[in-house]
Structures are given as C-alpha cells and as structure tokens.
C-alpha cells in the first residue's frame, strides 16, 4: 500500500508539472512542450535510475521514477502529435525526440554514475 501511495504522490506532482509546462511552453506549429518534458524526463529518469552517489530508499525511487517522471513524460501525446504533423515536421519531431531523449538519458546516467559526462 505504501508503494501505491508513493506512486500516487509522485503522479500528482508529475501531472501537475506536465500541465503547467504545457501552459508555459507555446506549441505554435511544433509540439515544443511535449518535446521539452520528454527530454527532461529522459534525463531525470536515467539520473534517478543510476544515482549511486545519492542513495534513495526504494519507495522514494519508485515514487520519483514511476510516479513523478512517469506521469510527467508522455509517449502517447508524442504519438498523437506525430500523426497530425506534416511529414517533414513529423520526421524532425520524431528524430529530435529519439536522438534527444537518448542523449539526455545517456547524460543523466553518466551523471548518476558519478562520471564526468563532458
């Protein structure tokens, strides 16, 4: 039951941050908000997952990773937006999301492992 509460609290915070980001980041002709939250989420999920110098209680890690980051990022919105974009823009959006997400995750993992990422 405590795991569920941890995920629920993280989820509440993550969805609130996601909603706020969608209001602050304009999505004129390109889904900048979704791209931004997904890149940020990729970085922080890897950072939390690989954080060796920052021991976290498993329940806190669960609340942060599954709850907060899981609800903050949005694969389904990425897919829905990708389908309605014109082909060249959709290709750029998909490429930025994939390459940028992997790059942000790599950077987060390197920092989490305590390695110099630069």
In this predicted structure, what is the pLDDT of residue 76?
A: 92
| Residue 56, phi-psi category: left (phi > 0), alpha (psi -120 to 50), beta (remainder) | beta
pLDDT 10s digits, 27-38:
788 999 999 999
Give pTM, 2 decimals.
Answer: 0.88
pLDDT 10s digits, 67-88:
999 999 999 999 999 999 999 9
């Amino acid at each position: 039951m405590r795991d569920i509460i941890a995920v629920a609290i993280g989820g509440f915070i993550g969805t609130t941050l996601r909603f706020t980001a969608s209001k602050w980041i304009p999505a004129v002709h390109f889904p900048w908000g979704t791209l931004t939250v997904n890149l940020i989420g990729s970085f922080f999920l890897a950072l939390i997952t690989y954080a060796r110098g920052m021991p976290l209680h498993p329940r806190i890690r669960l609340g942060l990773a599954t709850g907060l980051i899981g609800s903050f990022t949005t694969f389904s919105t990425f897919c829905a937006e990708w389908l309605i974009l014109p082909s060249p823009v959709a290709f750029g959006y998909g490429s930025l999301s994939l390459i940028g997400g992997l790059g942000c995750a790599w950077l987060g993992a390197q920092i989490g492992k305590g390695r110099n990422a630069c």
